[in-house]
C-alpha cells in the first residue's frame, strides 16, 4: 500500500497507519501460504500463459513501487508539510509550495504521478498527470476543501496499475488460496510452501516467521485456519538497522484487534496482535468464507468490523476501542473490493490531562455521512487493471487535534528517511521473490 499520501487522510488513519506493517505482514503470510501450493498459481488466469502474465504484472508492479523510491522537489516539500499538518490544514491552506492547483472555491489540490524508470520509482507532483498504463505506475489525487473557518474535508484517490489481472481472476486466487489449506496437514503445508516458493520463504524469513499454523476440520467439512506470524526486528538489524529500530519503537508497542461480523453477530474474520506477534483466523469451505461460529453459509454482502488499537508515541499511549465500520463487499463482474464507512465515534485512549478537549473535534469525522475508505480492483478489457483506494473525512481544528498532529508528526518523522528506505527495500525484495517464484511455478 503506497504510504505517501496515507498520512494526510484523517485522524483515524493517522493512528491506524502505525499498524500498517502488521496488516501487510498478515497479508504476505497468508498469500505465501496459499501461493506455495501448486493449485493456486493457475488461478491467476484462465490459461497458464495468462496466469503467468497476471502474476508477473501484479507482483512485479508492486515490487517496482518499492524500488529505489525518489520524489521530485515539489512533492518532497509538499509531503513533509502535509504529513505535519494533516489535522491542522489551515496552516497549509494558502501555502503555494504544497499545492499543484489552488481553486477559487475554497479547494486545494495535489496531484502526483508515480512511475518506474531507470531502476527507480519516481513520485512527481505536477499539475497534470496521466492515467497509469504500466504495471506499478500510479496516480495520486488529494483534495482539501474548506467547509468553514475551522472545518476541512480531505478527499484522497490513489490508482495503481496492477497488470492485466481481472477482478474475477483475483477472486479465483483468493478462493484457491483458502481452498489450498482445506483438509490438509500443517506439516505438509509448511513443506509445500518451502519447496514451491523458496525465494519468498527466504525473503520473508529475514523478518517474519510463521510460528503458528493450525488447520481444524469440522463436521460441516469447513476448515478453520489460524495463523500466527512473529515479527523479529533483531533478525534484520545488521542489514536494515533503522527499520529494525523503528519497528522496535512503534510496532512492538502496538496492540490491536479487529473482528468482522454480520448482522446476526456471527464472526467471519479475526485479527489480533501484540508484542510483535500477529494472529489471523478465518474459516473456509470449498474456497469460500464461512462463519467461524455456526453452520456454514455464504458470506453476506453487508458486514461490520469492530477494531481496537493502541500504540506508544513519545511518553504517551494513544489509540481507541470500539471503532466500528460498516463494511460492504464490492462484487461485480469487473470489480472486487471493500467499502468501509465510519459513522460512530469510538472510545478514545488519550492522556488524561487533555481529556476535557475531546468532544466535538474528535466526533466531527463520524458525523453526517461519516468517513469512508474504499479499496477495490477494477478491470477494463484491453487496459491495465487498477487497484483504487478512496478516502474521505472531515476534520475540525482544535487544541486536541494540534496535540495529536504533533504526536503523529513525531512518528512520521521517525519513519521518513532511512527507516522508510529500508522498509521499501524489504517490501521490494519480498514481492520480487514472489514474482520469480510464480514465474518458476507457471512454466
- Rounded-to-integer distance, Cα 200 and Cα 169, Å: 22
Q: What is the pLDDT along the chain (443 residues), one digit of tens a residue?
A: 333 333 333 333 343 343 444 444 444 454 545 444 566 778 899 999 999 999 999 999 999 999 999 999 999 999 989 988 888 899 999 999 999 999 888 999 999 999 999 999 999 999 999 999 999 999 999 999 999 999 999 999 999 999 999 999 999 988 988 888 888 888 888 887 788 888 988 998 999 888 899 999 999 999 999 999 999 999 999 999 999 999 988 888 889 999 999 999 999 999 999 989 999 999 999 999 999 998 999 999 999 999 999 887 777 778 899 999 999 999 999 999 999 999 999 998 877 766 555 556 788 899 999 999 999 999 998 899 999 999 999 998 887 777 777 777 677 777 888 999 999 999 999 999 989 988 888 87
Residue 340 sits at the vertex; the CA angle it makes with 286 and 61, to the nearest 5 degrees, is 70
Give the separation between CA 31 and CA 204, rounded to whole angstroms: 12
List C-alpha distances in Å: 392 to 148, 156, 197, 307, 374.
Answer: 17, 7, 38, 19, 9
* Sequence-separated (6 or more) residues with CB below 8 Å from residue 406: none
Answer yes or no: are the C-beta atoms of 83 and 414 closer than 8 Å: no
Cβ partners under 8 Å of residue 351, min gap 6: 316, 318
Q: What is the CA radius of gyration of the chain?
A: 21
State how far the Cα of 8 lies from the Cα of 158, in Å rounded to an integer: 13
Alpha-carbon distance values, 338 to 182, 287, 302 (Å)? 25, 19, 10
Q: How far apart are CA 411 and CA 314, in angstroms?
A: 9
- Cell numbers 524508470 correspond to 117
416 CB neighbour count, 10 Å cutoff: 16
Comparing CA positions, the residue from 18, 61, 47 lying closest to residue 252 is 18
φ, ψ of residue 104 to 5 degrees: the values are -90, 0
Measure Cα distances from 421 to 26, 61, 235 in Å: 21, 18, 17
Predicted confidence at residue 181, as pLDDT, reads 85
DSSP 77-126: HHHHHHHHHTT-GGGTTT-TTT-SEE-SSSEEEEEEEEEEETTEEEEEE-
3-state helix, strand, coil in the chain (%, to 5): 40, 35, 30
Amino acid at each position: 500500500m503506497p504510504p505517501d499520501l496515507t498520512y494526510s487522510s484523517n485522524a483515524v488513519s493517522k493512528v491506524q497507519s502505525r499498524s500498517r506493517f502488521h496488516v501487510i505482514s498478515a497479508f504476505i503470510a497468508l498469500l505465501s501460504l496459499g501461493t506455495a501450493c501448486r493449485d493456486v498459481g493457475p488461478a491467476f488466469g484462465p490459461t497458464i500463459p495468462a496466469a503467468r502474465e497476471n502474476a508477473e504484472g501484479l507482483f512485479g508492479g508492486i515490487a517496482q513501487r518499492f524500488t529505489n523510491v525518489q520524489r521530485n522537489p515539489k512533492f518532497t516539500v509538499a509531503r513533509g508539510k502535509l504529513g505535519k499538518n494533516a489535522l491542522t490544514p489551515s496552516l497549509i491552506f494558502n501555502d503555494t509550495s504544497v499545492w499543484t492547483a489552488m481553486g477559487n472555491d475554497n479547494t486545494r489540490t495535489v496531484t502526483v504521478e508515480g512511475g518506474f524508470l531507470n531502476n527507480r520509482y519516481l513520485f512527481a507532483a505536477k499539475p497534470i498527470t496521466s492515467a497509469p498504463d504500466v504495471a506499478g505506475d500510479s496516480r495520486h489525487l488529494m483534495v482539501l476543501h474548506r467547509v468553514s473557518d475551522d472545518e476541512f474535508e480531505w478527499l484522497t484517490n490513489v490508482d495503481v496499475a496492477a497488470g492485466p489481472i481481472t477482478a474475477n481472476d483475483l477472486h479465483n486466487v483468493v478462493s484457491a488460496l483458502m481452498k489450498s489449506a482445506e483438509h490438509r496437514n500443517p506439516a505438509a503445508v509448511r513443506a509445500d510452501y518451502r519447496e514451491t516458493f523458496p525465494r519468498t520463504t527466504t525473503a520473508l524469513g529475514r523478518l517474519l516467521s510463521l510460528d503458528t499454523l493450525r488447520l481444524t476440520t469440522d463436521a460441516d467439512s469447513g476448515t478453520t485456519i489460524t495463523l500466527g506470524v512473529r515479527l523479529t526486528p533483531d533478525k534484520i538489524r545488521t542489514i536494515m538497522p533503522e527499520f529494525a529500530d523503528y519497528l522496535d519503537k512503534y510496532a512492538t508497542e502496538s496492540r490491536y484487534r479487529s473482528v468482522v461480523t454480520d448482522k446476526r453477530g456471527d464472526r467471519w474474520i479475526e485479527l489480533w496482535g501484540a508484542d510483535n506477534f500477529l494472529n489471523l483466523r478465518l474459516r473456509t469451505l470449498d474456497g469460500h468464507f464461512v462463519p467461524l461460529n455456526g453452520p456454514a453459509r455464504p458470506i453476506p454482502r453487508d458486514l461490520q468490523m469492530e477494531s481496537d488499537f493502541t500504540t506508544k508515541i513519545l511518553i504517551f499511549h494513544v489509540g481507541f476501542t470500539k471503532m466500528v465500520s460498516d463494511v460492504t463487499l464490492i462484487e461485480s463482474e469487473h470489480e472486487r473490493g471493500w467499502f468501509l464507512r465510519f459513522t460512530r465515534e469510538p472510545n478514545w485512549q488519550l492522556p488524561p490531562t487533555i481529556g476535557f478537549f475531546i468532544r466535538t473535534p474528535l466526533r466531527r469525522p463520524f458525523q453526517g455521512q461519516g468517513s469512508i475508505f474504499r479499496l477495490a480492483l477494477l478491470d477494463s478489457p484491453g487496459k491495465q487493471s487498477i487497484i483504487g483506494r478512496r478516502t474521505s473525512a472531515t476534520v475540525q481544528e482544535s487544541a486536541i487535534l494540534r496535540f495529536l498532529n504533533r504526536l503523529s508528526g513525531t512518528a512520521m518523522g521517525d519513519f521518513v528517511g532511512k527507516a522508510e528506505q529500508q522498509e521499501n527495500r524489504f517490501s521490494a525484495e519480498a514481492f520480487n521473490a514472489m514474482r520469480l517464484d510464480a514465474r518458476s511455478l507457471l512454466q
